[in-house]
Amino acid sequence: MSAAFTTVLRRDLRLASRRRIDTLQPLAFFAVALAMFPLGVGPEPQMLREIAPGIVWVCALLASMLSVNSLFAGDLADGSLEQMLLAPESPIALVIAKCCAHWLLSGLPLIVAAPVVGLLFGLSGQALAVLVYGLLLGTPILSLLGALGAALTLGLRSGGMLLILIVLPLATPALIFGAGSVSTVEAGLSPAGHLSLLGALLIATAIGAPLATAAALRISTE
């Protein structure tokens, strides 16, 4: 499993390095969308601090969805997906490697950019730390759920819209707990409860999503 995981991960990262514009799209969308909100709602500092957690998480969710639609599409088009599924290694290794590559290319840049975004909205230092920690727990959930949605809609004509309809309801708990953790800090309360629930959700998703995604890939390629 480790050999298959390493091979697929390196392959996806190598392919992404050749398509740098596509790789930078989620981060560019994240930055531009967040920069537009102060222009739309006004420069009131108190209002920006109140809406910042929800806005950051919604933009992170939408940014991660930009690239997840093509997570398995390229492999299906060139026939490599069928070969991977027919290999003696477990398809779960393929799914986990794909999710890790997606997180490294889409989720990790959002985490790095989060402190700058938090300063733009006037968040305190403690709130910034909780925001980064929450995204560190939450963005892998988005990648895992996105992979599941991509597998379920693989090969469909209207797969992009259907993918969003599948993933958004599943990702709502992560959005609630992640944004709520920052809001509790701004209110002077402890974010431990929200972060614990977010961590539990990550564990549950990491266990269940790869299994469901692997099964969905086998069904989609039959």
Query: What is the tens place of the pLDDT at every residue in 106-116?
Result: 899 999 998 88
Average pLDDT over all residues of the chain: 86
Residue 121 is encoded by which pair of tokens? 């909205």
pTM for the whole thing? Answer: 0.90
Residue 203: the pLDDT is 95
Q: What parts of the chain have a pLDDT lower than 70?
A: 1, 158-159, 222
Residue 170: the pLDDT is 92
Residue 144: the pLDDT is 94
Residue 1: the pLDDT is 53
Q: What is the DSSP string of the chain?
A: -HHHHHHHHHHHHHHHHH-HHHHHHHHHHHHHHHHHHHHHH-S-HHHHHHHHHHHHHHHHHHHHHHHHTTTTHHHHHHTHHHHHHHSSS-HHHHHHHHHHHHIIIIIHHHHHHHHHHHHHTT--HHHHHHHHHHHHHHHHHHHHHHHHHHHHTTT-TTHHHHHHHHHHHHHHHHHHHHHHHHHHHHTTS--HHHHHHHHHHHHHHHHHHHHHHHHHHHHHT-
